Structure 1
Amino acid sequence: MTTRNLPGALEGACHATPAEQGFSMPAEFAPHDACWMLWPQRPDNWRYGAKPAQQAFIEVATAIAESETVFVGVNDDQYENARIQLPDHVRVVELSSNDAWMRDVGPTFLTHPDGRLAMVNWEFNAWGGLDGGLYFPWDKDRRIRTKVAELLGVECFTVPVMLEGGAIHVDGEGTLVTTEECLLNPNRNPDMTKAEMEQVLRDTLGVKTIIWLPRGCYQDETDGHVDNLCCFVAPGEVALTWCDDPADPQYAISREALEVLESTKDAQGRSLKVHKLLQPGPLYIAEDEASGIDRLHHSHPRRPGDRMAASYVNFYIGNEVVVMPLLDPALDDAASAIIQDLFPSRRVVGVPAREILLGGGNIHCITQQQPSRAASRS
């Protein structure tokens, strides 16, 4: 593993940036070699010692493993439990974490036309640090990216910018979508301007065009991660969380996003085709669902009646499957049909995911794709 620090994203690079070296971030719908996950166990975030959540994670891992290798990182004290419960073909590795959101604490993978794989090691402060962050400490989470780089033996670019994987989505052809609510939040990089953040994204991920949506989903505790609101499903096409109720705060958020998306060209000069996915519910934490959680002053509270940021856009695009959350019996089938139309060559697998949502995210949030090296050479 080679680690390169790149303070030059802001201050004048002492090394060539990943983009200058020919690296870029591929789309999630491009071929994968693997998927990385983490095992839930945090008792102040997951009820009843995370036992219900573990079952949901097992279903997600099993579905993804139909068409690609799945690695599940586990703390030592849960290793045996995870190994016994997960299917034999899912690979369990000791990889300590503070919680289970691999999308945000795991690496952002890059590929090179010559077949090389690399990764980005961003800074991480648990979605806001001491100013609105979701838990403390986050020291184990900050080491995950370098550990994965060691395990894979790939080059690791360390970029001293606070950024979580769920805050960005790319089309693999030079376009990135994100939200101002998250990437420009003062609890992430308070001294950075919008132009400076754009330069970091271009230098690090090899993108040309950055689409800024104003806000993420209503009540999203990540400060508006884009992967809960909008994602690329193909070059020139996005899925967008939608709401038809003018009295719902999500109504205005979705329409703001639609206006931006419909008035923007991507890096290839295309107008974007927007596919709307009605939000589930709205969904709220039930009285019994708020019980069984340890109450700690440094952790985000889970209270009865709290609205959850539920979204069908929060799915994982695997090699041969799309794993989507089942959240609302009244809308699950309709959402599944739309997603199936978007991915005709893949099989849509629905997984009961309310237990993941109760922890603050969903299927996309707990997964991180490792792109195929062979595909980058094609």
Structure 2
Amino acid sequence: MLYKRLPARIAGLLLLLLSGFSSAAFAVNVTDHWDVGGAVRFRADQESRRNIHNIGIDTVMLSTAYKSDSWMGAASYRWYGAQYPYHYTEHFGDIQFLQYAWIGYKFNAERELHVGLNKVPFGLQPLYSSSFWETLGNLIGMEDVYMVGVKYMQSLGDWHLQTGYYARPMWPGQGTSNGTTYSVVVTPADPGVVGGNRNQERNLFVGRLARDFVLGDWKSEAGVSVLGSDLYNDDTHRNGRRYSYALHYAGQKDGWGTKLQYARQDMAPKNPDGEQVITVGGYDGTFNMATRGNLYVGDLSYRLADSYFGGWLSNVKFYGMYSMYEKSNPDFRNSQRFTLGTSFSVKPLSIYIEWLNGRNDPYIGGSSYTQSLAAGGFDRWRSKLYMNIAYYF
């Protein structure tokens, strides 16, 4: 349900966008090299156990991209609020933040340099799974992470190298929490987070090396990633350290696809009360995370090659994903997420329908939001149905 009337400027924008649903999605070509676009997303959440039955607007995004023979760049900004799960805010747009904003230079067909708020190249790219909700890797600061820095990319035949230095996380946006960023990053805890601490990640170095090859009939990629950074504590004024590494494999055969990844996380923050927990946050919330553990990810998908009903239905994909954050502290309960879903396009609409299952997962099923990724929550599987409908223009 809609909790508040949308502001007139947002309602007008939505009316304009919705009026184009019968036509193909579009982007505004400002010049031959510069495009302006965006998206409007709606969501539906169904969880009978907690009496959650919501339909409403999820996100408004505006983006721009520039590309010439040598120069390139892109930026994207997001707005949320007033609708579930942000029904505690009064207006749509009370929560807003950048996703990315960078410029780049292409030296030749094999070498590029990106500077600004860009994606940290760690593990499977661009995402670890087919799921709209992503994996637990997103919550522990590995998947879909953007920070402010410089990234260099080079291809040499079947080999692909990415290296980067990131001085700081993304700039904070607007919201009600310390966690007002697109990515889940190390963040000072909000007052209500029991056992929370105040750290900031700086001076992150990352390297990713991958190789394309054929394994039987599977077009494959395998690679290794390493990462290191400083963790500055605002109370002790001391620098801790973070070290992470990952091994990944991705393969495709006909319509089948698979993604596999193992990653190790080791953080040693200089908190006043020890190193077992660090506070992270994003999307207007902060929560605690176990500092040491192993991440396991497995994703299997199948995409139908044909379109149906005169081209109205296309890009049909079915998938299943499992991820687990196995915590090194024996007193902590492991966090798990299992998803079955499908995604498809209905003319200009992009639709995801997912059955989400979580155990000690702060985002799914009503477990303890602030402690599930650390010591644990209810330690029982919880589930919900989720649908996201997006119109990209």
- TM-score computed with the length of structure 2 as normaliser: 0.29
- TM-score computed with the length of structure 1 as normaliser: 0.30
Which structure has the larger Rg over C-alpha atoms? 2
Higher strand share: 2
Higher helix share: 1
